[in-house]
Amino acid sequence: MKSYIHVLWHHDHSEEPVEIISEIVSGVETRKIEIYRDGRIGFADSNRAVGGSILSEGSMPSLTEINAQAECSGEGISEAAFTKLWSQYVEGE
């Protein structure tokens, strides 16, 4: 089963992303886009890791668990929305 999430990470660390957009298959992250405050983009999939991004190891936490962290706010997004973002940020690389 596939799901897609968009998480805003509220923090002051310049070297960490402020947005994380993930494709999750059976609880495992398979593609990720990371957007940094200064406009940099990182991404990862099973074949590549660009801009410091790597796929999470093991099972991904649920949105409930993510949103329980004060510094995070996440929501589910559609496959179409993820595909559009992947095309925008990754396919052009």
User: Which pLDDT tens digit goes with each residue over 34-67?
Assistant: 999 999 999 999 999 999 999 999 999 999 999 9
Q: Span 13-35, mean pLDDT?
A: 96
- Residue 37 DSSP symbol: T
Alpha-helical runs (H) found in 1-93 = 63-67, 79-86
pTM value is: 0.93
On the question of pLDDT at 29 being above 80, the answer is: yes
The encoded tokens of residue 91 equal 């396919």
What is the bridge-based pairing of β-strands 41-44 and 28-35? antiparallel
User: Which pLDDT tens digit goes with each residue over 68-83?
Assistant: 999 999 999 999 999 9
Q: Judge contact between 31 and 45, C-beta under 8 A.
A: yes
